[in-house]
Amino acid sequence: MPLGIFAFFATLAVISALGVILQRSPVHSLLALIVTLLCVAALMIGLDALAVGLLQAIVYVGAIVVLFLFVIWLLNLERDPEESGRLGIKLLAAVGAAALVGELTAFLTRTHMSQQTVNSDYGSMAQLAGLIFGNYLIAFEVTSLLLLVAVVGVVAVARRWPSPRLANRPPTLSAKPQT
Amino acid sequence: MQALGPLILSWRSVLAPGIVALTAVVTMLVGSGLSEDESESVGWIALTGLVAAAIASLAASGDHIVTFGGSLIIDDYTAFFYLLIPVCSAVVVLFSFDYVAALGLPATEYYALLLFATTGMMLMAGAGDLIVMFLGLETMSISAYVMAAMAQRDPKSSEAGLKYFLLGAFSTGFLLYGIALLYGATGSIKLEAVAQMVRKHSIALSPFVLLGLGLILVGFGFKVAAAPFHVWTPDAYEGAPTSVTALMAVGIKLGAFAGFIRVLLIYLAPLHAQWSGVLWALAALSMTVGNLAALAQENIKRMLAYSAIAHAGYILVGMTAGRSEVGPALLYYLLGYAFANLGAFAVLVAVEQAQQSGTKLDDLSGLARNHPMLAAAMALFMLSLMGMPPLAGFVGKFYIFSVALESRYVWLVIIATLNSVVSAYYYARVIVAMYMREGAERQAQTRQPTLLFALAVAALATVIIGLLPHPYISASSAAYASAEQVLRPATAALQTK
Amino acid sequence: MTPINYYLGLGALLFAIGTVGVLIRRNLIVVFMSIELMLNAVNLTFIALGRAMGSADGQVIVFFVMIVAGVEAAVGLGIILAAFRNRLTVNADEFNLLRW
Interatomic CA distance for residues A161 and C73, integer angstroms: 22
Share of chain B above pLDDT 90, in %: 66
pLDDT of residue A179: 36
| Average pLDDT in chain B | 89
| Contact between chains at C59 and A18 (C-beta distance less than 8 A) | no
Tell me the per-residue pLDDT of B188-238, one tens digit each, with 9 for 90 and over.
899 988 888 888 766 667 778 888 899 999 999 999 999 889 999 999 999
Interatomic CA distance for residues B243 and B346, integer angstroms: 8
Q: How far is B153 from chain A (nearest CA, A)?
A: 5
Q: Which residue of C has its CA nearest to B156?
A: C97
Q: In this complex, how many residue pairs, one in chain B and one in chain C, have their CB atoms less than 8 Å apart? A: 119
Q: In this complex, how many residue pairs, one in chain A and one in chain B, have their CB atoms less than 8 Å apart? A: 122
Q: Is A167 exposed, middle or buried (0-12, 13-18, 19+ CB in 10 A)?
A: exposed
Q: Which SS3 state, helix, strand or coil, does residue A149 take?
A: helix
Amino acid (1-letter code) at residue B17:
P
The answer on pLDDT for B32 being more than 60 is yes
Could you tell me which residue, B430 or A91, shows the higher pLDDT? B430
pLDDT of residue B3: 42
Closest CA to B337 of B187, B234, B224: B224
Neighbours of B493 (CB within 10 A): 9
Are B156 and C98 within 8 A, CB to CB? yes
Domain A1-80 - what CATH class?
A: mainly alpha
Mapping DSSP onto H, E and C, the string for chain B reads CCCCCCCCCCHHHHHHHHHHHHHHHHHHHHHHCCCCCCHHHHHHHHHHHHHHHHHHHHHHCCCCEEEHHHCEEECHHHHHHHHHHHHHHHHHHHHHHHHHHHHCCCHHHHHHHHHHHHHHHHHHHHECEHHHHHHHHHHHHHHHHHHHCCCCCCHHHHHHHHHHHHHHHHHHHHHHHHHHHHHHHHCCCEHHHHHHHHCCHHHHCCHHHHHHHHHHHHHHHHHCCCCCCCCHHHHHHHHCCHHHHHHHHHHHHHHHHHHHHHHHHHHCHHHHHHHHHHHHHHHHHHHHHHHHHHHCCCEHHHHHHHHHHHHHHHHHHHHHHCCCCHHHHHHHHHHHHHHHHHHHHHHHHHHHHHHCCCCEHHHHCCHHHHCHHHHHHHHHHHHHHHCCCCCHHHHHHHHHHHHHHHCCCHHHHHHHHHHHHHHHHHHHHHHHHHHHCCCCCCCCCCCCHHHHHHHHHHHHHHHHHHHCHHHHHHHHHHHHHHHHHHHHHHHHHHHHC
Q: Is B483 exposed, middle or buried (0-12, 13-18, 19+ CB in 10 A)?
A: buried
Share of chain A above pLDDT 90, in %: 41
Q: Is C85 exposed, middle or buried (0-12, 13-18, 19+ CB in 10 A)?
A: middle
Neighbours of chain B (3+ CB pairs under 8 A): A, C
Interatomic CA distance for residues C98 and B305, integer angstroms: 13
| Contact between chains at A148 and B25 (C-beta distance less than 8 A) | yes
Closest CB to A136 among C6, C32, C60: C60
| Contact between chains at B7 and A146 (C-beta distance less than 8 A) | no
**Domain coverage including residue B213:** 11-496
Q: How do the residues of chain A divide into helix, strand and coil, expressed in percent and rounded to 5?
A: 70, 0, 30
Q: What are the structural domains, with CATH classification, of chain C?
A: 4-94 (1.10.287.3510)
H/E stretch holding C15 reads helix C4-24
Closest CA to B346 of B495, B468, B462, B492: B462
Share of chain B above pLDDT 70, in %: 94
Q: How do the residues of chain C divide into helix, strand and coil, expressed in percent and rounded to 5?
A: 80, 0, 15
**Is there a domain that residue B6 lies in?**
no
Question: How many domains are contained in chain B?
Answer: 1
Tell me the per-residue pLDDT of B1-30, one tens digit each, with 9 for 90 and over.
344 455 677 888 899 999 999 999 999 999
| Contact between chains at C52 and A118 (C-beta distance less than 8 A) | no
Q: Would you call C2 an interface residue with chain A, using a CB distance cutoff of 8 Å?
A: yes
Interatomic CA distance for residues B73 and B122, integer angstroms: 11
The answer on pLDDT for B90 being more than 50 is yes
Identify all chain C residues contacting B206, using CB atoms and an 8 Å cutoff.
none
E strands in C1-72 = none
Q: Would you call C89 an interface residue with chain A, using a CB distance cutoff of 8 Å?
A: no
pLDDT of residue B355: 79
First-to-final CA distance of chain C:
49
Interatomic CA distance for residues B122 and B18, integer angstroms: 10
In terms of DSSP bridges, do strands B72-74 and B65-67 run parallel, antiparallel, or are they unpaired? antiparallel
Is the peptide bond prior to B234 cis by the omega test (within 30 degrees of 0)?
Answer: no
Tell me the per-residue pLDDT of B247-285, one tens digit each, with 9 for 90 and over.
999 999 999 999 999 999 999 988 888 899 999 999 999
The answer on pLDDT for A83 being more than 60 is no
Q: Would you call B146 an interface residue with chain A, using a CB distance cutoff of 8 Å?
A: yes
The answer on pLDDT for A162 being more than 80 is no
Interatomic CA distance for residues C61 and C55, integer angstroms: 11
Tell me the per-residue pLDDT of C38-66, one tens digit each, with 9 for 90 and over.
999 999 999 999 998 888 899 999 999 99
Neighbours of chain A (3+ CB pairs under 8 A): B, C
B178 half-sphere exposure, CB direction, 13 A CA radius: 19
Are B68 and B9 within 8 A, CB to CB? yes
The answer on pLDDT for B444 being more than 90 is no
- What is the distance of C-alpha B53 from the center of its chain? 18
Closest CB to C56 among A63, A81, A131: A131
pLDDT of residue B209: 87
Q: How far is B299 from chain C (nearest CA, A)?
A: 11
| Contact between chains at B173 and C42 (C-beta distance less than 8 A) | yes
Q: Which residue of A has its CA nearest to C52?
A: A115
Alpha helix positions (H), A110-136: 125-132
Tell me the per-residue pLDDT of B288-346, one tens digit each, with 9 for 90 and over.
999 999 999 999 999 999 999 999 999 999 999 988 889 999 999 999 999 999 999 99
Identify all chain C residues contacting B235, using CB atoms and an 8 Å cutoff.
98-100
| Average pLDDT in chain A | 81
pLDDT of residue B91: 96
Is the peptide bond prior to B155 cis by the omega test (within 30 degrees of 0)?
Answer: no
| Contact between chains at A146 and B119 (C-beta distance less than 8 A) | no
pLDDT of residue B204: 65
Tell me the per-residue pLDDT of B103-141, one tens digit each, with 9 for 90 and over.
888 899 999 999 999 999 999 999 999 999 999 999 999
Identify all chain C residues contacting A44, using CB atoms and an 8 Å cutoff.
43-44, 47, 62
Tell me the per-residue pLDDT of B448-497, one tens digit each, with 9 for 90 and over.
889 999 999 999 999 999 999 999 999 999 999 988 887 665 444 444 33
Q: Is B298 exposed, middle or buried (0-12, 13-18, 19+ CB in 10 A)?
A: exposed
Which residues numbered 37-76 in C keep a CB inside 8 Å of some CB on A?
A: 37, 40, 43-44, 47-48, 50-54, 56-60, 62-64, 66-71, 73-75
**Is there a domain that residue B222 lies in?**
yes
Structure confidence at residue A64 as a pLDDT band (50, 70, 90): very high
Q: Which residue of A has its CA nearest to C1?
A: A2
- Chain A interface residues facing chain B, Cβ-Cβ under 8 Å? 103, 106-107, 110, 127, 130-131, 134-139, 142-143, 145-146, 148-150, 152-157, 159, 161-163, 165-166, 169, 171-174, 176
Identify all chain B residues contacting A110, using CB atoms and an 8 Å cutoff.
206-208
Could you tell me which residue, B256 or B98, shows the higher pLDDT? B256
According to DSSP, the residues that pair with B67 across neighbouring strands are B72
Residues of chain C where predicted confidence (pLDDT) is lower than 50: 100
